[in-house]
Structure 1
Amino acid sequence: MAKPQASRAMVAVGRRLKALRMAKRPRLTQEMVARALNKSQDLVSLMENGGQLPTDQQLVVMFDLYDVGEALRLDLLAEIRAARASQSVWWDEYLADLPRSLVRLIELEDPVSKVRISTGSLVPWPGQVPPYMEAVDEFHEREKGVEKTSVQHAVRLRRQNIFFRPDNPAELDALCSEAAIRAQVGGPEVMKAQLDHLVEFMQRPNITLRIIPFSAGAAAATQVNLNVMDYPSPNDPGVATMDTGTGVAILEDPKEIRARRRRFDYLAHSALTPDESLELIETLSKEL
């Protein structure tokens, strides 16, 4: 099943195709390209917006029209093949049970190179263990029903795999308040298991978790929940997301993304170092 919205890989391909058309002199319009393809202008627009990938035959026509050299042809062809492969994805099997905003978030997470997360008084989701998830969701999401909540737990565990994949695992820079590791969510036994997992989690070279101590004042008390995602392409401005309480707000305006980066950096400035954070977590685990 193809994904209902453009994947990040498809959007990247579309941007490159548009850049090639715009760079051609004299300038080519979408209508001119459509005539060369014997297709509609709407299809060319759809391709350039990442809604559809060109066929091999269409790609040859576009390459010739844009005077694309052999090296660039091979590079773009490899990117298009990767984008085609991305259309078959693990979360297809869960689509019927997930809100559209969460599906879109997963689509954006899958190809990331780095994620910055601030979660306030909850343990960041990439490091959560199932009993902790269950205790949090039992409190917050009773209206969703046991079956859907169970599906979302399974999906959350699958989402965590971007940080554990053998090839190019995503880098994680996470922040949370001291409250997140002191509150006995699910009781002492569950919380000890959660803290012990974080100790192991933080040993990975691509994982950074920092605690904002109570002594940091307002920075520790803030309940802001935000993600900023970076992608391999240096020209990709990234994506920011925020939990709205009823869903996920996805922000792709570069100004909005820069503002969230600044907010994250402000919070990070008040955090303990990774070593200090690890020491605090180990101490609290021993007390349980």
Structure 2
Amino acid sequence: MAGVAPTMGRRRLGGVLKALRLSAGLSNEQARQRADLSTAKLSRLESGHNVVLLKDIRALLDAYNADKGTREKVLKLAQLAEQHGWWEEFDDVLPADFDLYLSVEEAAASLLVFETSIMHGLLQTEDYARAWIRAEDPGTPNAELERLVGLRMARRQALARDEEPITLWAVLDEAVIRRRVGGSEVMREQLEHLLSLSERPNVTIQVLPFGVGAHVAASGSFTVVEFAEPTDPEIGYVDCAAGNVYPEKPWQVRRMKTHFHHLTSAALEPTKSLSFIRKAHKELT
């Protein structure tokens, strides 16, 4: 993405600003004239692509004749929008544009995930993550590799945080369970970790066995991100070789959710999925 990355905080603020403008019955041109902002800046603020300056937000609130309660709420959102995320500690190794996804994941209430070949990042053990990262780029220096593993382990805290842990519903293709990433011992530990996580009330695991054959998502992995705030529309996420893609149009997200629910129907139900994982664990030698 060009320009400033639309972190979740900026994206949320932008949605509220746009809603206020529409509620005030103002066009982009009318709003930007009243607030003495450029057309480009107003557009970037509403899309989350602009650094947030409080003077600009106050000018927009004046333009929209916002009441005291609304002003306080929006100004608080504006301050939160520019707070640093925990992932900035890993700026030296953070993949391009992945800070956007991490800010989205951090703010999410729930994730609907389908994985075709790799254990989802929130479910990985340290050794599994290390083996996969090394396989993806064998030339990665050891120090950088360990920083990337640290990033992935820090990311897992979203499932275990004390307040409002993220809810994860993951459908894993059988290949994710069968592929011996890092060898039998690493994979045995990974499957044990998966079984342990499945005991948490906020984690649901289903396995899509090879026997299902062709299915609606044969084209690849995807994630649907859901939020608690009704003003935050659901979005999709697809990680591919060409870069990260974020389908946001309502029809795109509906299609992804429909595919996900087809997958949950085709996959083994959760209890049988855990039995499948236990069996795979026993077969590791």
Alignment match, 2:266: 270
Query: Are residue 70 (structure 1) and residue 68 (structure 2) matched?
Result: yes
Alignment match, 1:20: 20
Alignment match, 1:7: 7
Q: Secondary structure at the match of 2:170?
A: strand
Query: Are residue 175 (structure 1) and residue 171 (structure 2) matched?
Result: yes
- Conserved 8 A contact 1:102-1:247: no
1:98 maps to which of 77, 94, 99: 94
Report the TM-score, using the length of structure 2 for normalisation: 0.86
- Conserved 8 A contact 2:15-2:232: no
What letter matches 1:261 in structure 2?
K
Q: Secondary structure at the match of 2:177?
A: helix
What letter matches 1:173 in structure 2?
W
1:154 maps to which of 139, 150, 155: 150
TM-superposed CA distance for 1:89, in Å, is 1.5
Cα distance in 2, alignment partners of residues 20 and 36 from structure 1: 14
- Conserved 8 A contact 2:170-2:204: yes
TM-superposed CA distance for 1:127, in Å, is 0.9
Cα distance in 1, alignment partners of residues 141 and 242 from structure 2: 16
- Conserved 8 A contact 2:8-2:103: yes
Query: Are residue 202 (structure 1) and residue 201 (structure 2) matched?
Result: no
What letter matches 1:17 in structure 2?
L
The percentage of aligned residue pairs carrying the same residue is: 27
Task: Give 1:245-264 correspondences, 5 Å limit.
Answer: 245-264=241-260
Q: Secondary structure at the match of 2:5?
A: coil
- Conserved 8 A contact 1:212-1:220: no
Tell which deviates more after alignment, 156-165 or 89-98. Answer: 89-98
Q: In structure 1, list runs of 5 or more residues that go unmatched.
A: none
TM-superposed CA distance for 1:48, in Å, is 2.4
Cα distance in 2, alignment partners of residues 220 and 261 from structure 1: 11
Tell which deviates more after alignment, 174-183 or 143-152. Answer: 143-152
Cα distance in 2, alignment partners of residues 29 and 146 from structure 1: 54
Size of the aligned set, in residue pairs, is: 281
Cα distance in 2, alignment partners of residues 45 and 140 from structure 1: 38
TM-superposed CA distance for 1:151, in Å, is 2.7
Task: Give 1:32-181 correspondences, 5 Å limit.
Answer: 32-50=30-48, 51-55=50-54, 58-85=56-83, 88-181=84-177
Cα separation, partners in 2 of 1:29 and 1:226, compared to 1, 3 Å: closer
- Conserved 8 A contact 2:13-2:46: yes
TM-superposed CA distance for 1:82, in Å, is 2.9
Report the TM-score, using the length of structure 1 for normalisation: 0.85
